[in-house]
C-alpha cells in the first residue's frame, strides 16, 4: 500500500477544497442527514455549512490540516473558549439550516452537556472523501493531531455520529465515554476519549 501523504496546514484560501471534501465525507453521516434531510440540496448545504465553520471558526482558532482528499479541524485546550461560534456565525449557520435550525441548536446543547470538563485537545471534524477512503489519509490526519496531544501529555476528545467509525477510533486508543441520542428523535452520538499516549486496556495506539 502506498504511504499516505503528509498532512498540510490549511489557510482560508483552502476553504473551497476543504468544504467540498468534507461535504462528500459527511453526505451519508446520520447527524448530517438529520440536519439536511433533503437529498437534492444536501451536498450544496453541507458545502456551505463546512465553509462557514472553517472560515469563521476553526481556521481562526483551531489547527486545521488536510491531505489531498481529507481534512481535520482540531482545537487546543487554551483555544476552546474562543472557538465557540460568535453571533454572526450562528446567524449564518441558522440561515443554512433553515427550518432545521432548532434541531441543530438542540444537538449542540446536548453535545455540550456531555463534553469533557478536563483540559484536552478536541477533534472537532475529520473526514475523507469516500473515493479516497482506505488510502490512509484520515489516519494520517488523526496521527498528526494525536502526536500534538501526546507531546503535551493531554487526552483527546471527540464525538462520533457514525457507528461504523467507532472501531476506527478504538484502534487509535479512543474509548466511548457516553452514548446519547439527539433530542427530537435524532440519531445517536458517541462521546469518546483517548488517554495521553493512547493506551487503554492493553491496546497500543501505534499498533
Is this model's pTM higher than 0.85 or not? Answer: yes
User: What grid cell was written down for 60?
Assistant: 481562526
Q: Which of 130-144, 150-164, 192-206 has the highest mean pLDDT?
A: 150-164
The cell for 189 is: 452520538
Helix (H) or strand (E) holding 180: strand 174-181
Looking at residue 115, its pLDDT comes to 86
What's the Rg (C-alpha) of the chain?
16
| Predicted confidence (pLDDT) at residue 207 exceeds the cutoff of 70 | no
For the chain, domain boundaries: 8-198
Task: Classify residue 3 by burial, with Cβ atoms within 10 Å: 0-12, 13-18, 19+.
Answer: exposed
Over residues 14-39, the pLDDT tens digits come to 999 999 999 999 999 999 999 999 99
Helix (H, G, I), strand (E, B) or coil at 156: strand
Across 20-29, 78-87, 189-198, least confident range: 78-87
Question: What is the predicted pLDDT for the residue at 4?
Answer: 61
- pLDDT above 80: residue 82: yes
Q: Which fold is adopted by the domain 8-198? A: Aminopeptidase (3.40.630)
Q: pLDDT by residue (tens digit) across 90-125?
A: 999 999 999 999 999 999 888 888 888 999 999 999
163-193 per-residue burial string, b: 16 or more CB within 10 A, e: under 16: eebbeebbebbbeeeeeeebeeebbebbbbb
Amino acid at each position: 500500500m502506498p504511504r499516505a501523504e503528509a498532512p498540510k496546514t490549511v489557510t482560508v484560501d483552502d476553504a473551497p477544497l476543504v468544504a467540498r471534501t468534507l461535504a462528500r465525507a459527511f453526505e451519508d453521516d446520520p447527524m448530517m442527514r438529520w440536519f439536511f434531510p433533503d437529498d437534492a440540496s444536501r451536498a450544496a448545504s453541507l458545502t456551505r455549512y463546512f465553509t462557514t465553520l472553517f472560515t469563521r471558526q476553526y481556521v481562526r482558532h483551531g489547527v486545521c490540516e488536510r491531505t489531498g482528499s481529507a481534512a481535520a479541524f482540531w482545537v487546543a485546550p487554551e483555544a476552546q473558549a474562543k472557538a465557540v461560534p460568535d453571533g454572526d456565525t450562528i446567524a449564518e449557520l441558522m440561515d443554512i439550516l433553515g427550518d432545521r435550525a432548532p434541531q441543530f441548536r438542540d444537538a449542540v446543547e446536548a453535545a455540550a452537556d456531555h463534553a469533557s470538563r478536563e483540559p484536552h485537545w478536541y477533534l472537532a471534524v475529520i473526514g475523507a472523501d469516500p473515493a479516497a477512503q482506505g488510502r490512509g489519509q484520515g489516519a494520517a490526519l488523526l496521527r498528526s493531531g494525536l502526536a500534538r496531544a501526546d507531546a503535551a501529555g493531554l487526552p483527546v476528545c471527540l464525538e462520533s455520529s457514525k457507528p461504523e467509525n467507532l472501531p476506527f477510533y478504538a484502534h487509535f486508543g479512543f474509548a466511548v465515554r457516553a452514548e446519547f441520542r439527539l433530542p427530537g428523535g435524532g440519531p445517536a452520538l458517541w462521546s469518546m476519549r483517548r488517554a495521553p499516549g493512547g493506551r487503554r486496556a492493553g491496546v497500543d495506539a501505534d499498533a
